Each structure stands twice: as structure tokens, then as C-alpha cells.
Amino acid sequence: MSAGSQGAAGLVVEGLTAGYGREDIIRDLTFGPFLEGEVTMLVGPNAAGKSTLLRALAGLVRATGSVRLDGAELTGLAPAKRARHASFMPQDLPGRVDLTALESVLSALMVTPDRSDDASVIRERALAALERLGIAGHALEPLGRLSGGQRQLVGLAQVLAREPRLILLDEPTSALDLRYQVIVMRLLRALAAEGRIVVGVLHDLTLAARWSDRIVLLDDGAIVASGPPDQTFTVERLRAVYGVESRVERCSEGTLQVLVDDAGELG
């Protein structure tokens, strides 16, 4: 599963600048190594550049700088090759509503065809991914007939089925109910424990604090803070970055909670 050359383990990013057209959105970001077994969540206000950073890691936007996975440079790799190492789930739910859940996972696997596998093996992999997310019962239903949350789970199954080293997930729990939020966060921990590197985006800071090893706080295309949740979330930083009055407290069981009491006026 390694990208296959000498160098530091994990994901290491240096001088990453990315954007659209002529406009740079994230500028000169350096971070890592993010190691296998670790779950990192990117947080920050709307338009901070979180999705752009994930897309840059996946090779889906114009970017300069270095993105190395286990010492191998990903920048410049052909998209199909890169997708073998890094799999990205976008913020938008899967769109081809005419495909069934199973077909949409199969089509995701076609992006990174593995010549050694025959069709039945690929189908088994797709079904196993749907099963792991508890939606195998909907495998033959068109996406257009699934609920928003069910479609998000299909999006996750697409990523899972590819079995990448680096998993990139943009707001993977945004459409999920309370139970499925926890099921998915627990799954991310399990995927990390299986030897993958997980990097995601979340808006729910309490959820991020509970399930992540590391938080990267982004604002206006730059990293404001990075580290363990309890060191990254401070009342002062949340005021400066989000413009909110908050409390960062531990509950009766010692888990970190971010409680927002008020927000500044618009403008």
C-alpha cells in the first residue's frame, strides 16, 4: 500500500499553495507528518479554505509545493495513480441519482482499476463497503430514492471500497443523525487503526475534539493553530477566528466540549 520510495513515513506537506484560476486560496502551508493510526480534522470558518486544502491533497485543484506520502511525491502524479494512494470524499453528496448505491460504489472503483481483480472480486469489495456502513440493504436502490444521510454513507462507501492509504473526507457527518455521526467517527478511528491516515473536515468542534488526535484550525487560507484538541481550542482563538463567544469545558466524563453562547453581528 506504500507509495513506494525512501523517506519519512506518513503525510508530509511543504509549501503547499493552491487555488482556482489565478487566485491562491491556501498559501504556503507546511504540516505533518500525519502518521497511520492518526485522525486529523481540519476546522475553521466558511470559506477558510478547508475544502480547497483537501482537494489540493487529492490533486484536484491547481497546486504548487510538495505533498509526500511515505516519502513519495504525489504532486504531478497522474490522477488515476494518485487516487490509488489518496481517496477523497467531496462535501457535496453523490450526484448521479440514476445510479444504484452499488453501481455508484462500483463506478468509484473504476477510477482506480486493479488489473489483478476480476469483476466478482470488485463487486464483493463494493458490497463489503456498503455493509460496513450499514446500508447494504439499499445496494440496489437508486441514489435519488435515498435520504441525504444514506447518500452520504454511500459516498463514504465509495472511499472505503478503494482501500487507500490516505483518506480525505470533506464534512463526512454533515447529513447524518446523532447515531450515524458516532458510527462514522468510530469507523474513521478503525480505518486509522488498520494502517490508514485519515484527514477530514468538520464543523462540529465537540465531535472533532472527541474523535480526533489532531485539529488543524484554518482561517483565511492559513493555519492558525495545530495540535491536540485541548491545546488547539481556546476561547480566545475561537473568538478571533469565528467571531463567537464560547466556553471550552470538560463534561462530567472529562470529554472536551465547545459551547457557543453568542456570535458577533454580521459585517
Ligand X SMILES: Nc1ncnc2c1ncn2[C@@H]1O[C@H](COP(=O)(O)OP(=O)(O)OP(=O)(O)O)[C@@H](O)[C@H]1O
Q: Write out the residues near Mg ion by the rule CB under 5 A.
A: 51, 91
Nearer to ligand X by Cβ, of 46 and 116: the residue is 46
Rule CB under 6 A: which of 163-192 touch ligand X? none
Q: Round to whole Å and give the CA distance between 121 and 64.
A: 37
Rule CB under 6 A: which of 225-264 touch ligand X? none
CB 76 within 8 A of CB 3: no
Q: Round to whole Å and give the CA distance between 109 and 164.
A: 11
CA 125 to chain centre: 21
Of all residues in this chain, which one has the CB nearest to Mg ion in the complex? 51
Q: Quick one: what does residue 48 bind among ligand X, Mg ion, none, with the CB cut-off 5 to 8 Å set by partner type?
A: ligand X
Interface with ligand X, residue 52, by CB under 6 A: yes
Task: Map residues 90-119 to x or -, x wherever contact with ligand X holds by CB under 6 A.
Answer: -x----------------------------
Q: Round to whole Å and give the CA distance between 85 and 163.
A: 9
CB 261 within 8 A of CB 247: yes
Task: Map residues 5-24 to x or -, x wherever contact with ligand X holds by CB under 6 A.
Answer: ---------------x----
Q: How many CB atoms lie within 10 A of CB 146?
A: 20
Nearer to Mg ion by Cβ, of 90 and 142: the residue is 90
Q: Quick one: what does residue 46 bind among Mg ion, ligand X, none, with the CB cut-off 5 to 8 Å set by partner type?
A: ligand X
- Minimal distance, residue 37 CB to ligand X, in Å: 26
> Please, which residues have CB within 8 angstroms of residue 263's CB and are 6 or more apart in sequence?
242, 243, 244, 245
- Minimal distance, residue 99 CB to ligand X, in Å: 24
Q: Quick one: what does residue 167 bind among Mg ion, ligand X, none, with the CB cut-off 5 to 8 Å set by partner type?
A: none
- Give the strands of the sheet with 86-89, arranged side by side: 86-89, 166-170, 197-201, 39-43, 214-219, 222-227
- Report which secondary-structure segment, H or E, holds 186: helix 178-193
- Minimal distance, residue 226 CB to ligand X, in Å: 16
- Minimal distance, residue 23 CB to ligand X, in Å: 7
Q: Quick one: what does residue 25 bind among ligand X, Mg ion, none, with the CB cut-off 5 to 8 Å set by partner type?
A: ligand X
- Minimal distance, residue 140 CB to ligand X, in Å: 32
Nearer to ligand X by Cβ, of 44 and 172: the residue is 44
Q: Round to whole Å and give the CA distance between 94 and 24.
A: 27
Nearer to ligand X by Cβ, of 10 and 200: the residue is 200
Task: Map residues 32-51 to x or -, x wherever contact with ligand X holds by CB under 6 A.
Answer: ------------x-xxxxxx
Q: At 184, which amino acid appears?
A: V
CB 38 within 8 A of CB 96: no
CB 211 within 8 A of CB 229: no
Q: Which residues bind ligand X (CB under 6 A)?
A: 20, 25, 44, 46-52, 91
